[in-house]
Structure 1
Amino acid sequence: MSTPIDHLAEFERTAAEFAAVLDTVDPAAAVPGCPGWTLADLALHLGSGQRWAASILLSGTRQKVPEVLRTTASWADWYAGTTAALAAAIRAVDPDEPCWNFAPVEQRAGFWSRRRMHETVIHLVDAVQAGAAPDQRAASGLTAVPAELAADGVDEVFGVFLPRLLARGFEPAVTRQIGIRATDTGDEWTLTPVPQGDRPQVERAKATGEAVLSGTAAELDLCLWKRLPGSVLTVEGDPAVAAAFLAGKATP
């Protein structure tokens, strides 16, 4: 993550890829990463989330997720419209402007371009896998996530979602010190539990602990979001510590 990511540009690029999938894959196709959902359900979820984020950015305050009716337009066109609305809202608000978000992190507008980019990345993986043969799903999902975005996604999980889930009352995913290493980007993290259920300490640029998990940045990101099995990662140290972390709830 040495080069800053243009989250808005990457959001728009990834959203265009998602729209392209909607044009080519049956909307009734099952989404393996979201059991019980079709691709149409996924499009509604992602598009309504974009409208929600746009309303928050423009108001600066918490808003209800809109109840979206099934669209009479093509799924790709409707989704592209929600993408354009969110991109316009991001451009209209200074990233340093105070703005509500759902996590116990700094309440600034810049949160949303990063968050919606990663939301789109993970659901692009879901959409691509919905259109792939069962034996091609893992590989097709990995190719949908550029390494630098995946590394930033891992960092977002540690900085945003671990504290969010703790704040919502879930058991901590980090109960023993663990290291995480992205073999392709060189990014490393050490997660250290803090007493009394507070958010874990996150130390970047080193990976140490009772266990160290290694894999490509995309493998790490998709494992944290439960889109790949933890068995794709390499474990150094105590395998029980690694297994407990991977089984924990690091993401919604």
Structure 2
Amino acid sequence: MSELDPVDHLAEFERTAAEFAAVLDRADPAAAVPGCPGWTLADLALHLGSGQRWAAAILLSGTRQKVPEVLRTTISWADWYAGTTAALAAAIRAVDPDEPCWNFAPVEQRAGFWSRRRLHETVIHLVDAVQAGADADGRSASGLTVVPPRIAADGVDEVFGVFLARMLARGFAPAVTRQIGVRATDTGDEWTLTPAADGGRPRVERGKAAGEAVVSGTAAELDLCLWKRLPTGVLTVAGDPAVAAAFLAGTTTP
């Protein structure tokens, strides 16, 4: 299986989390978040920060933990969130990535899962904040410009390697019902997804894009479409458009 360009998940997590904290520092916490209907920016900060504390507790114990109750003080959302980020970064540094550690997915139970997962959780919610109009730097309202190509390609790979199986385990219908290829036009990464005969976890092959349809776009476009943060019309399709449409409409992520 072809390898992706390596990503320093911890360094990229800290960089992306700092961007999100900066958005919180200058934005209206009551702003609505289109990517998370019914949520405000404050709700988004609460969700992300609570997730950081949860992941830190899991890493330090190696076992499944409850999401901690949030006991907020009078500090700003930005400062509170930055504190949770620092706590998680310290936990990641304290635990060898190959150490056995619980995670929620039907994948290898190793500590290294969490630095990657929290990076991509933060990336998607930074996009949510930008789409909410919370970005004062004049970046694209789509959020595409806050997702570097190689980070986005790793995010696509996480969806295929973790969340396709995760959503099946949660009882959702298979998103991959016909063989389909996916191509990132800017990074050159390609995947072929082949459905399992029993409706179980699809086979994922890196290094080529083949199937009854091939869906192409930049890595960021693919990542955000899989997370339902962009309309799929930004992507191009070769082959059977019905196969591509069924895949893109499927439940690939929570």
1:87 lines up with 2:123 in the alignment? no
Aligned to 2:17: 15
1:28-69 Cα offsets, whole Å, 9 max, x none, are 000010000000000000000000000000000000011214
Report how far residue 25 of structure 1 moved: 1.1
Give the 5 Å matches for 1:201-212. Answer: 201-212=203-214
- Equivalences for residues 217-228 of structure 1 within 5 A: 217-228=219-230
Aligned to 1:103: 105
CA RMSD between the two structures:
1.4
Matched, 1:200 2:206: no
- Check the 8 A contact 1:180/1:189 in 2, yes or no: yes
Residue-by-residue CA offset, 1:114-166 (whole Å, 9 max, x unaligned): 00000000000001111259xx9964400010000000000000000000111
Q: Which runs of 4+ in 1 moved over 2 A?
A: 136-140
Distance of 1:119 and 1:108 partners within structure 2: 18
Gaps (5+ residues) in structure 2?
none
Q: Higher helix proportion, which one?
A: 1
Distance in 2 of aligned mates of 1:138 and 1:199? 35
Aligned-residue offset at 1:169: 1.3
Q: TM-score, normalised by structure 1?
A: 0.96
Q: Would the aligned equivalents of 1:146 and 1:218 in 2 still touch at CA under 8 Å?
A: yes
1:152 correspondence with 2:159: no
- After TM superposition, the structure 1 = structure 2 runs for residues 1-252 of structure 1, keeping only pairs within 5 Å, are 2-131=4-133, 139-252=141-254
| 1:68 to 1:132, Cα distance in 2 relative to 1, 3 A | closer
Q: What is the one-letter code of the residue matched to 2:177?
A: T
* Cα pair 1:129 1:137 within 8 Å, conserved: no
Q: What stretches of structure 1 of length at least 5 have no aligned partner?
A: none
Which residue identity does 2:170 align to in structure 1? R
Asked if structure 2 preserves the Cα contact closer than 8 Å seen for 1:138 and 1:228, the reply is: no
CA contact (8 A) 2:100 2:109 kept: yes
1:189–1:206 contact (8 Å) kept in structure 2? yes
- Tell me the CA shift for residue 72 of structure 1: 1.6
Task: Measure the CA separation in 2 of the matches of 1:226 and 1:60.
Answer: 31
Contact 1:191–1:203 under 8 Å retained in 2: yes
